[in-house]
Copies of this chain bind each other. A is one copy, B any other.
Amino acid sequence: MGLKVPAKARHFSVAERELLYEVMRERRDMRHFLPESTIDPVVLQRILSAAHTAPSVGLMQPWRFIQIKNTQRREAVAVLVDEERMATAEVLSAREPEFLKLKVEGIRECAALIAVVQAPDDGTLFGRRTLPEEMALCSTACAIQNMWLASRVENLGLGWVSLFDPVALAELLACPKGAKPIALLCIGPVSEFYAKPMLEQVGWRQPKPLQDCLFEDAWSEPSA
């Protein structure tokens, strides 16, 4: 079972490389959108096609995208997110007032709202005997990262909202048994992109340097 089709490799230049890195650096998790804006369906289709070029374990392609077009349905989703926001505020205890001042989602204002649902397990064994759920989930996350970069290069914002009860959302979206919503993606025009990740910019949390995440040959972080 050899590789019969000889592939002509596309060689990327230094300028092309730097452009990709620039897109990655400019990408932001957006929560502020231009209200009453729209998104061209052709553009949205390109962003979804980008998702679909993602790798997946055993080629299982476990991602499903439900675009919420109905106004009442979007409002019902927004109510679920509001409820989870309050539940999160409560467990944050000391930081509750600070959390409640943050804008954490743009469900009602964004031009397009897409729920990403992990499909019921199709039984793929290739590459997922030991970590079946994790590998399927990682495949879908790779697809979403493609959408994030695609949105940025389309000059649109994308925000991944994970503030929801997955069981309630699955019910609202009539998902079959075994399907699991993992993201509400808000996509659309923004008035500006945050200069830094929003949580860093507003002083919620500071990122760690890359060097703290790199080890050689074995885990070697000093125990905290």
Contacts and interface: CB of A to CB of B under 8 A. Distances in A.
A46 B99 CA distance: 34
B142 A148 contact: yes
Interface string A159-194: 011111110000001111001001100000010111
Contacts of A68: 217
A15 to B, nearest CB: 10
Contact of A137 (B64, B84, B130, B137): B137
29 contacts: A1-B102, A1-B202, A9-B155, A9-B190, A11-B155, A16-B19, A16-B153, A17-B153, A21-B50, A25-B53, A55-B148, A55-B197, A61-B207, A61-B208, A66-B215, A84-B129, A87-B129, A88-B125, A127-B161, A130-B163, A131-B182, A134-B137, A138-B138, A138-B183, A142-B142, A145-B146, A173-B219, A174-B219, A176-B221
